[in-house]
Amino acid sequence: MLAVEEVRSSYGRIEALHGVSLDVAAGEIITLVGANGAGKTTLLRAISGVQPISAGRIRFEARRLDGISAHVRVALGIAQVPEGRQVFAPLSVEDNLRLGGWTRRGERLDAELAWVYELFPALASRRRVSAGTLSGGEQQMLAIGRALMAKPRLLLLDEPSMGLAPMLVEQILDVVRSLKQAGLTVLLVEQNARAALAIADRGYVVETGRIATSGSAGELLADDRVRAAYLGV
């Protein structure tokens, strides 16, 4: 469904991705693990088209994404929950969600809204509240719900558990798992490698702008180097 081939990307003169390749098949949950600054966010931004790439190709469902603007990629079926949630602070919860469905404006989105409120009941009671006043956990739910409103086929999640209490992390990862059941394909970036690998089919380990290892979730959980570096054992 998604093929990233030898992608390079830079911030000014500093190259952050030195030729990254990975594949995601329809229906999979793939996780990217890696230390701070490894390039995970840069890769997701490149897939979404908000970060230019200097070499390589990104293909989505056999379509090359070169030259396709970020906003068009959403319409094609790629939605991202960005690092740090990035909700629209001055707008209400419901407006954030409706804007999540921007590419489908004109359609009735009531069913999707109801679905998101069902996934995250905490949002339902706060639909008129401005997003900036939500707690971190609620903002994360909103960011996920906003991405879901686009009805994506591929969902990119950048550290959805960052800064959340363990119980909330659990809840968010449960939702991710249920999204797979609902037919979504997920590319999940997580610092919390153990939790991410627990729900993922496969994973890639990113180190300083390169893919260091990859394998099934079971293989990575058993890999000595992965265990030492990312699982703390």
Partner 1 sequence: MTELLQFTFSGLTVGAVYALVALGFTLIYNSCDVINFAQGEFVMLGGMTTVFLGLAGVPLPLAACFAVVLTVAVGLALHRFAIEPARGSGAVVLIIITIGASIFLRGAAQVIFDKRFHTLPPFVGGDAIRIAGAAILPQSLVVLAGAVIILVLLWAFIERTLIGKAMVATAANEIAARLVGIDTRAAVGLSFAIAAAIGAVAGILITPIALTSYDVGTVLALKGFAAAMLGGIGSAVGAVIGGLVLGLLEAFAAGYVSSQYKDAVAFLVILIVLLAMPRGLFGRAPVERV
Sole window of 60-68, 83-91, 112-120, 130-138 interacting with Mg ion (rule: CB under 5 A): 83-91
144 interacts with, out of partner 1, ligand ATP, Mg ion, none, CB within 5 to 8 A per kind: none
Count Cβ atoms below 10 Å from residue 72 Cβ, excluding itself.
13
Shortest Å, Cβ 85 to partner 1: 9
Residue 11, C-beta contacts closer than 8 angstroms, at least 6 positions apart: 42
Task: Pick what 79 binds: partner 1, ligand ATP, Mg ion, none; C-beta below 5 to 8 Å, kind-dependent.
Answer: partner 1
We find the least distance from the C-beta atom of residue 170 to ligand ATP, in angstroms, to be: 21
Using the rule CB under 8 A, is 69 a contact of partner 1? Answer: yes
Nearest-angstrom CA–CA distance, 98 and 146: 7
Residue whose C-alpha is closest to residue 193's, from 161, 167, 168, 224? 161
27-63 CB burial, b ≥16 within 10 A, e <16: ebbbbbbbeeebbbbbbbbbbbbebebeebebebeee
| Residues 107 and 65 sit within 8 Å (Cβ to Cβ) | no
Binding residues for Mg ion restricted to 21-80, rule: CB under 5 A: 41
Residue from 26, 89, 165, 228 touching partner 1 (CB under 8 A): that is 89
What pairing do the DSSP bridges indicate for beta strands 14-24 and 185-189?
unpaired
Least spacing, CB of residue 37 vs Mg ion, in Å: 8
Sole binder of partner 1 in the list 24, 58, 74, 169 (CB under 8 A): 74
Judged by beta carbon, residue 20 or residue 109, the one nearer ligand ATP is 20
Footprint of Mg ion (CB under 5 A): 41, 83
Footprint of partner 1 (CB under 8 A): 48-50, 69-72, 74-75, 79-80, 82, 86-91, 95, 98-100, 102-103, 105, 132, 146-147, 149-150
